[in-house]
Amino acid sequence: MDRRKWLQMALAGGLASLNTSLFAQDEKNIPKFTLQGVDANGKKLELSDFMGKTVLVSFFTAGCNVCTRDLKLMREFYVSNSKRKFVLLAVNIDQNKADFDEYNQLIAQVIPQEQRFPMVWRNAPSHKDNFGTIVHQPTHFVINPKNEFIFKREGSFEPEDWDNLWSSLG
């Protein structure tokens, strides 16, 4: 074996073991997610209120067509699975509260009460969470009943995401 191939193999092996140890370390140090806010009806809400349930946290804006489509599908999943210890929590990231309020008024007019899920405005002064910067609309996080991260999807939910969400319900 020539020296160049040997160096490539040694480097690849070293990086593989480094990545494995970093991944294991990261898994142990993943923080539990937190969220504190006030829902669209003025009720205080915390992510810890849903401990023991699989939670789909969806960050969206009122004017996003992809968000609207995803939330429609998620609403259907929510209605079908709310008795299976599943919660859908929508977090609006509009800059203007009027956009959030207008969206909620529309929801109140067209969506039956039993199909509504908790919704908060992220830019409210009392809102706090540790989900980080949201770059893509929508962005979804799935958290298991122990408040452990399962997966994140930036953009529209993919078919395998629905399968993974379904599997997480146990």
Residue 83 is predicted with a pLDDT of 87
| Nearest residue to 93 (alpha-carbon basis) of 129, 69, 117 | 129
For the beta carbon of residue 34, count every other beta carbon within 10 angstroms: 13
What is the set of domains in the chain, with CATH numbers?
34-168 (3.40.30.10)
Residue 30 is predicted with a pLDDT of 58
pTM: 0.81
pLDDT by residue (tens digit) across 91-124?
Answer: 999 999 999 999 999 999 999 998 999 999 999 9
Residue 156 is predicted with a pLDDT of 94
Q: Say if strands 86-92 and 54-60 run parallel, antiparallel, or are unpaired.
A: parallel
| Helical (H) or strand (E) element with 87 | strand 86-92
Q: Give every residue of the chain whose pLDDT is below 50, as ranges.
A: 3-4, 6-26
Residue 15 is predicted with a pLDDT of 38
Residue 130 is predicted with a pLDDT of 96
Helices and strands counted in the chain (H then E): 4, 8
